Amino acid sequence: MFTDEELKKATDNYSENSIIGRGGFGMVFKGILPNNQVVAIKRSIKVDSTQVEQFINEVVALSQINNKNVVKLLGCCLETEVPLLVYEFISNGTLHDHLHDEGKMYSFTWDVRLRIAAEVAEVLAYLHTTISIPIIHRDIKSANILLDDKCVAKVADFGASKLAPVDQEQLGTMVQGTCGYLDPEYMQTGELTDKSDVYSFGVVLVELLTREKAISYAKPENERSLAVCFLRKIKEDRLFEIFDEQIVSDSAMEQLKEVANLARRCLKLKEIGDLNSDLSAL
């Protein structure tokens, strides 16, 4: 447990210079504790029941998880109107930054991308099939995959997550997630299953293959959705047109085809039986 005073000191009173992330939920600050440990502190902008629910979701989910590829929750502060969450600090930004930030445009080899895909797949298989009460993340996307200084993936942000008791095949919920990554079936029915995470992971795979964003409003309407565009290219046998040139080589071609096929299966939900074994094997 952390005190409000302790976290204010760690962030220089939540100064602008300590901000490392912003979103609809609020802000994430970099903090340095008295023992020189660097941490990330999530602080909500507004006080409402949704923020409190997300805090509870995150604490409940992360308290059950012990996985090297999930960001660790170190503690919280209950002295503020909306509780603050304190995490291990992951130094290298997000997968979204590495793939899409034009100001950075990291060199990103296929081997590194494939390993990141495998690490995220293992986390999903762990959440869905290994822990005693399965967890559906509900917001898998490249911006919620952090990378450390060795580009090891760390899945973050369990604020939207849901526990999925094993005797319930689906949960009725208010649709939540990020445009471009949302499972169309879940959007239509509001019935949440682990396949919703699998669909979102499929979109991340396509991002890794193409270096294109999940949704791009600058493009014509029929090309805005990366998932729809990807499936259309496969159907037209024009897949290689959208692979990122940086990763195309004779030696990687078979792996590219296999990952593209896995992405297709993730996105074509009605054809999926149980893909979690495939995710474990990736």
Annotated binding site for ATP: 42
Q: Are 197 and 137 in contact (CB under 8 A)?
A: yes
43 to each of 2, 8, 11, 63, 65, how far by Cα in Å?
13, 11, 12, 19, 22
- What are the helix (H) ranges across 137-193? 184-189
4, 97, 101, 139: which is the annotated catalytic residue? 139
Which helix (H) or strand (E) segment holds residue 162: the answer is: strand 162-163
How many other C-beta atoms lie within 10 A of the C-beta of residue 178?
A: 18
How many other C-beta atoms lie within 10 A of the C-beta of residue 242?
A: 18
Nearest to 200 by CA among 258, 257, 145, 274: 145
- For 96-117, give one letter per residue: b (16+ CB within 10 A) or e: bbbbbeeeeeeebebebbbebb
Q: Which residues are annotated as a binding site?
A: 42
Which helix (H) or strand (E) segment holds residue 155: the answer is: strand 153-155
Q: Give catalytic status of residue 139 as yes or no.
A: yes
**How do strand 38-44 and strand 26-32 relate by DSSP bridges?**
antiparallel
Residues identified as active-site = 139
